[in-house]
Amino acid sequence: MSKCAQEFSVGKQVCFQIGKVINSHFPNLEERILALTDPRMRKEYKLSELILGGIMMSVFNSGSRNAFDQDRKDPLFSENYTRVFKLKLPSCDAIDDVMRAISTNELEQLKCQVLHSLLAKRVLHKFRFQNQYFMISVDATGIASYSSDYCGECTSKTSKNGNTTYFHHVLEAKLVTTNDMAFSIGTEWIRNSEQGEYDKQDCELNAFKRLAAKLKKEFPRLPILILVDALYANEPFFKICIEHGWEFIVTFKDGNLPSVHQEIDLLPPSARKHAERLIPGANKSFKKQNYTYIDNIDYKGIALSYVKCEEQIQSPNAEDKIKTFTHLSSIKACAKNYERISCSGRLRWVIENSFDYLKNHGYNMKHKYSRVSFTALRNYYQCMMIAHMINQFVEKSKDLQPALKKDSKMTIKYLWKRLCTFFLEVDIDSVEYDHFVRKRNQIRLA
């Protein structure tokens, strides 16, 4: 097979897999979009065509409205888009008009409805902690910065030199899995503190109060395990989780909760449980893990568990390195779950990896998709979160793993580059495509 034919084959695989994922896991997406309130007076396109266009901008990893518009202007790309998604592809100007006008709450609700559907189908149940709790990682990240408060709602910080920076930060709650997937389940935009400027701890914790209320309202009966960094090792966070009936695992550092450190130091050796694990690696290397766990530590009437893991990778060809991971949890630590608590606490990093991926690997989350409208910025963001859900199922599907393993240099970014080439260069057979995506077969995840 020629190199060109191989590239088209890879692009075809990605295209067909996207269709398979949407048909299987997001079958009612268009109907859900059409149920939204349409703010327009003139209606050249269906609302589903405009919102799906905003989602597909990120599915195709276009990185900007201009780049997606350039592809749209190619007649074959637009024809293939219609053949595959059964909808017209509107201009990005038309998409932007509706993004500035439609309610941000409605698009976030659309995202939640999609996630409700995944949960109802039990797609993510096998990734639960102890077959019970869905792991929700919470963290903040920056989206865009500006030289002025263009929307009147920018967060701001003034340096010692008197220079003021305006920006938008967001607090995200993402359902994370053991195979490194992260699905946005709740979004709260961070505001300035009551003192008038951005303060990381104050602003983020206040945003968490609003985000927690939103999550509880949207998913009232979902069994949740919250994963957070050391910023949240405090009484208000613990109480919010307890009030909502959630469990939690918090990264625990030396400067956190002095009274807890003091109680741990005063405990007799008999209160500390120890365990050791050896995990074989490649080339005669192995990972040695020493665990210490303590149960029922009292902090202002709140019972906490303490789990510490000292991990050492020993290899004949490299210097031994020791890493320490320490966590506090509301879950009672015992011989059956101490390792799971530690590993789940470390899964908090999945949300940070997802931020990096969305910013630097095709989605271009830092790009100012709308420079004049905060409403549009938030709506593009929610479209990107839905697109990221779709793409993760595609990337993690076992159907695509052979293509990735066949060439060690092939990356996820390369797969999406081939997808665009396929839409631009090949007449897609809609009959073959429809037959493939409608076949009743399970999407297996790697």
73 φ/ψ angles, rounded to the nearest 5 degrees: -70, -15
User: Residue 396: what pLDDT?
Assistant: 92
The closest alpha carbon to 310, from 294, 328, 325, 295, belongs to: 325
User: Residue 408: what pLDDT?
Assistant: 57
| Alpha carbon separation from 437 to 60, 173, 211, 430, 442 (Å, rounded) | 18, 31, 36, 11, 11
The closest alpha carbon to 175, from 150, 219, 138, belongs to: 138
Alpha-carbon span 379 to 143, nearest angstrom = 13
User: Residue 151: what pLDDT?
Assistant: 86
| Alpha carbon separation from 367 to 58, 66, 135, 143, 356 (Å, rounded) | 12, 12, 29, 8, 13
Q: Is residue 68 within 8 Å of residue 92, measured between CB atoms?
A: yes
In sequence order, what are the beta bridge partners of 328?
250, 306
Question: Hey, is 355 helix, strand or coil?
Answer: helix
In sequence order, what are the beta bridge partners of 158?
164
Q: DSSP for 53-76?
A: HHHHHHHTT--SHHHHHHHHTSHH
Alpha-carbon span 440 to 106, nearest angstrom = 32
User: Residue 319: what pLDDT?
Assistant: 67
H-run or E-run covering 98: helix 92-101
The pTM of this model reads 0.94
The closest alpha carbon to 421, from 60, 56, 163, belongs to: 60
The closest alpha carbon to 177, from 110, 218, 233, 118, belongs to: 118
The closest alpha carbon to 155, from 164, 144, 168, 142, belongs to: 168
Two tokens, residue 4: 């060109």
User: Residue 43: what pLDDT?
Assistant: 86
User: Residue 73: what pLDDT?
Assistant: 95
pLDDT digits (tens, 9 = 90+) for 121-157: 999 999 999 999 999 999 999 998 888 888 888 898 8
**DSSP character at residue 299:** E
47 CB contacts (<8 Å, ≥6 apart)? 33, 34, 36, 38, 40, 98
User: Residue 399: what pLDDT?
Assistant: 84
| Alpha carbon separation from 417 to 10, 61, 147 (Å, rounded) | 10, 8, 33
User: Residue 3: what pLDDT?
Assistant: 52
The closest alpha carbon to 347, from 325, 332, 374, belongs to: 325
Two tokens, residue 331: 């879950």
**Which position has the token pair 């008038």?**
196
User: Residue 1: what pLDDT?
Assistant: 45
Mean pLDDT by 10 residues, the chain (446 residues): 62 93 93 94 92 97 95 96 96 96 96 96 95 97 89 86 90 97 97 78 91 97 97 96 98 94 91 90 80 95 96 76 94 96 96 95 91 93 97 90 68 87 94 90 80
H-run or E-run covering 349: helix 349-360
